[in-house]
């Protein structure tokens, strides 16, 4: 059963994104960080390059019209159409997209939700969409933690 994990009330989403991606890779998986904004992906790429050398995560920006790199543990991508993914790739979703609607929904989706009312309202819609599509749902309230 696919699983969607929501991390809500995240006060510093950019910092939390890097930490969550690192944790997901350390747990043995490949991760695609997805955004609807190419600028956000560029900023995240820059942030990842500025981490301490011992914390560096091998990553690259993937142009979704190109073949998916198979050796890179962390891929960063953006676009208007959700790509089909291999089953071993988890998605860290930074967009308002519903990955339950992807051509081939991933087995694992990680959702980072900020603190604004708009962020929380959008997350509720994605929560419902995942649940209606048969995803198992996990929720972690990060208020005061991240």
Domain boundaries, given as residue ranges, for the chain:
3-141
pTM given for the model: 0.92
pLDDT tens digits along 101-132: 888 899 999 999 999 999 999 999 999 999 99
Region 3-141: CATH code:
3.40.50.10110
Residue 131 CB partners (closer than 8 Å, separation 6+): 137
pLDDT tens digits along 25-54: 887 779 999 999 999 999 999 988 887 777
Q: In what order do the strands lie in the sheet with 74-78?
A: 59-61, 74-78, 30-35, 89-93, 108-112, 3-8, 136-141
């Amino acid at each position: 059963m696919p699983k969607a994990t929501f991390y809500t009330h995240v006060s510093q989403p950019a910092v939390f994104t890097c930490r969550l991606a690192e944790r997901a890779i350390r747990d043995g998986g490949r991760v695609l960080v997805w955004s609807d904004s190419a600028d956000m992906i560029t900023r995240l790429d820059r942030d990842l390059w500025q981490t301490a050398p011992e914390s560096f995560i091998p990553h690259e920006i993937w142009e979704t019209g190109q073949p998916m790199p198979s050796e890179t543990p962390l891929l960063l991508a953006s676009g208007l159409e959700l790509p089909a993914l291999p089953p071993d790739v988890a998605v860290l979703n930074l967009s308002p997209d519903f990955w339950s609607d992807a051509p081939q929904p991933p087995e694992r989706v990680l959702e980072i939700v900020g603190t604004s009312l708009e962020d929380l309202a959008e997350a509720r819609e994605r929560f419902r969409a995942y649940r209606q599509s048969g995803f198992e749902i996990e929720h972690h309230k990060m208020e005061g933690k991240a």
